[in-house]
Amino acid sequence: MYGFEALTFNIHGGYLEAIVRGHRASLLTAADYNNLCQCETLDDIKMHLSATEYGPYLQNEPSPLHTTTIVEKCTLKLVDEYKNMLCQATEPLSTFLEYITYGHMIDNVVLIVTGTLHERDVQELLEKCHPLGMFDSIATLAVAQNMRELYRLVLVDTPLAPYFSECITSEDLDDMNIEIMRNTLYKAYLEDFYRFCQKLGGATAEIMSDLLAFEADRRAVNITINSIGTELTRDDRRKLYSNFGLLYPYGHEELAICEDIDQVRGAMEKYPPYQSIFAKLSYGESQMLDKAFYEEEVKRLCLAFEQQFHYAVFFAYMRLREQEIRNLMWISECVAQNQKSRVHDSVVFIF
Amino acid sequence: MAEGAGGAAANGGSDEKVLDFLDSVDSYLTTMESLAPILRQGWFDLASARHSMGVFRVSSASLDLKDHSASTYLQMVGHESDDSFVGQPSFSLCKWASADNKSCCSEEEIPDSQLRHRGTSRLSENQEQNSNGDDSLKTVDDLVKKERAKTLSVFGTLVSPKLRTAQLSFETALEVLVEAANIRSSMLSAYSQVQKQMEDTREGEIGPIP
């Protein structure tokens, strides 16, 4: 059961909770999305966004706009808000906020390592990294030849260091090893974040457990679907699933042996929360699965704001903003490619 | 009477060449029209893949700049050389050739002198084996799947099915382009024959210049 959070939360967290709830109120509404979906060009999108909080970030961008520019500038806004909150947070909220960015840090590490393997310029790779996942010694990643060096030279001093114990080998880095490294790191990060939230206790533990369990389950499904027809063995696939979530452990056993999307559906439909997701798809289809999962995630994230005095609102806000940026990216691509009839294939309304 | 019959035969032959030319123009236009929706679908699938996997993961920064052999190349047979026209050029696509497997999905021989490739890929005795039997078809299918996965591995080995769909769309577009090139080649050949026919007819009507 909860502690007496209502008595003490506002001492250190009240201000930032109010800030994040204010930010939440500025998320785009269905009316905004309807206007954006009717735009003919990317400049029209820029004009509509100028009336929102994205306005100052896009106003100085010259025409012709590109979809990547819109995504970059919208992401910058999210980064500014995050840094503003982080610099005013005290423990344990500051650690909680840092945890939210470790996923991006893992993606950046993999991007730098993969790009170096492909003889890309390090500076070019750094420009493509997610700003939320940057750390000081990231450029040094380019000198590592294997995971042991990666850990010893660079990552030992980063928050990702504890996650490397499960994947340190002396094998040279190649595409398959890097992919396994990415997913192993992410698995370790999710489990660590889960344990941290459990230690915090109260409403934070309860709400974050649900959100992180959903994230772990969705990852398991994506890993399964993406690995169908690849050289990843069943045992290796099983090792990439997190050790918590609704699907752990029996659902994971079934997912590990799936060879097509219908078998995945058969495994997932035994769990009522996921039955409704797969009910939206026709047999043999996986195109709309992403949207179905995003819709479910948005529903759960919005519910986090129904309760006060917990840290899950910060996590929910960051994720909702990322979903909004995904929506803007999708609308921009459909407008740029003159495929406006397909715009509703992937837009997920938040309100 | 004989002249009339001869004239009718000549006209029939001329009409046939014109019909051939018109047929090839129609095929060319139809093929080019079919290309645009395939490319559109490919770009849309790529945007879907970026939406699914993340824009930071599917970007030009992931592409491989190391020297590596081409996985797909174009073979051209029959070309104009200095004084003689060897034959109407025809194009074929050799898809998913691999330096490791030393085999290619195309069944045609590729003369080395006409190849443009950076690597060591070449046809081997395995080609004859691959063209026979269900087992060999499965082998080819497995090779193709492996090569496709290898090409996409720059974005990671566990990629979204949408990225694979985009790859298939662009592969189909490439095939349609080669088909269009072949039809264009036959169209130009038919046109030159029609032109030649018309010039011969004109010379026949005017007669030799004294």
Query: Smallest CA–CA separation between A112 and chain B, in Å?
Result: 9
* Distance from C-alpha of B158 to C-alpha of A221, rounded to nearest angstrom: 12
Instruction: Kindly write down the DSSP assignment for every residue of A218-233, as one continuous string.
Output: HHHHHHHHHHTTSS--
pTM here is: 0.86
Nearest CA in chain B to A115: B62
Q: Give the pLDDT confidence score for residue A119 in this predicted structure.
A: 87
Provide the mean pLDDT of chain A. Answer: 91
Angle at A65 between CA A62 and CA A69, to 5 degrees: 100
> At B76, phi and psi to the nearest 5?
-115, 130
Residue B101 above 60 pLDDT? no
A195 touches chain B (CB under 8 A): no
3-state SS string for A137-163: CHHHHHHCCEHHHHHHHHHHHCCCHHH
Task: List beta partners, residue B93.
Answer: B74
Residue A325 above 80 pLDDT? yes
Residue A340 above 80 pLDDT? yes
B161 touches chain A (CB under 8 A): yes
User: How many Å is the maximal CA-CA distance in chain B?
Assistant: 80
Span between the terminal Cα atoms of chain A, in Å: 30
Q: What is the mean pLDDT of residues B172-178?
A: 94
Structure tokens at A335: 């407008």
The alpha carbons of chain B give a radius of gyration, in whole angstroms, of: 24
Between B105 and A248, name the one with better pLDDT. Answer: A248
Q: In A96-245, at which residue ranges do the beta strands (DSSP E only) sit?
A: none
Residue A72 above 90 pLDDT? yes
Between A333 and B7, name the one with better pLDDT. Answer: A333
Q: Give the pLDDT confidence score for residue A166 in this predicted structure.
A: 65
Residue type, A123: Q
Nearest CA in chain A to B62: A115
* Distance from C-alpha of A39 to C-alpha of A55, rounded to nearest angstrom: 16
A231 touches chain B (CB under 8 A): yes
Confidence of residue B184 (pLDDT cuts 50, 70, 90): very high
- From the number of C-beta atoms within 10 Å of its C-beta (0-12, 13-18, 19+), residue A191 rates as middle
Residue B88 above 80 pLDDT? no
Cβ–Cβ under 8 Å, residues B18 and B174: no
Q: Give the pLDDT confidence score for residue B121 in this predicted structure.
A: 43
CB contact set of A168 (below 8 Å; sequence gap of 6+): A147, A148, A151
Query: Smallest CA–CA separation between B157 and chain A, in Å?
Result: 6
Half-sphere exposure of A274 (CA within 13 A, CB side): 21
Task: Identify the residue among B150, B158, B159 best suited for mutation to test binding to A, counting A beta carbons within 10 A and taking the highest.
Answer: B158
Residue A297 above 80 pLDDT? yes
The dihedral of CA B165, B171, B175, B177: what is its sign? positive
Query: Is the peptide bond prior to A64 cis by the omega test (within 30 degrees of 0)?
Result: yes
Q: What is the mean pLDDT of residues A157-185?
A: 81
Confidence of residue A3 (pLDDT cuts 50, 70, 90): low
- Percent of chain B whose predicted confidence (pLDDT) is above 70: 69
Nearest Cβ partner for A333 among B47, B159, B161: B47
CA distances from A202 to A91, A106, A129 (A): 16, 29, 35
Residue A194 above 90 pLDDT? yes
Which pLDDT tens digit goes with each residue over B142-162? 888 888 888 888 888 899 999
Contacts of A335 in chain B (CB under 8 A): none
Residue A177 above 70 pLDDT? yes
Task: Identify the residue among B38, B51, B141, B152 best suited for mutation to test binding to A, counting A beta carbons within 10 A and taking the highest.
Answer: B51
B157-191 burial by CB neighbour count: b if 16+ within 10 A, else e?
bbbbbbbbbbbebbbbbbebbbbbbbbbbbbebbb
A236 touches chain B (CB under 8 A): no
- Range name among A30-34, A169-173, B78-82 with the lowest pLDDT average: B78-82
Q: Give the pLDDT confidence score for residue B79 in this predicted structure.
A: 57
Q: Give the pLDDT confidence score for residue A89 in this predicted structure.
A: 96
Query: Is the peptide bond prior to B37 cis by the omega test (within 30 degrees of 0)?
Result: no
Task: List beta partners, residue A170.
Answer: none
Residue A303 above 90 pLDDT? yes
Confidence of residue A328 (pLDDT cuts 50, 70, 90): very high
Query: ipTM value of the model?
Result: 0.90
Contacts of A333 in chain B (CB under 8 A): 47, 50-51
Query: Smallest CA–CA separation between B96 and chain A, in Å?
Result: 17
Q: Give the pLDDT confidence score for residue A280 in this predicted structure.
A: 83
B51 touches chain A (CB under 8 A): yes
Q: Which of B171, B181, B175, B177 is nearest to B42 (CA)?
A: B171
3-state secondary structure of B90: strand
Between B57 and B29, name the one with better pLDDT. Answer: B29
Task: Identify the residue among B55, B144, B147 best suited for mutation to test binding to A, counting A beta carbons within 10 A and taking the highest.
Answer: B55
Nearest CA in chain A to B147: A230
Q: Give the pLDDT confidence score for residue B208 in this predicted structure.
A: 62
Query: Smallest CA–CA separation between A304 and chain B, in Å?
Result: 24
Q: What is the mean pLDDT of residues B7-36?
A: 84
Nearest CA in chain A to B68: A118
- Range name among A242-246, A276-280, B98-102, B111-115 with the lowest pLDDT average: B111-115
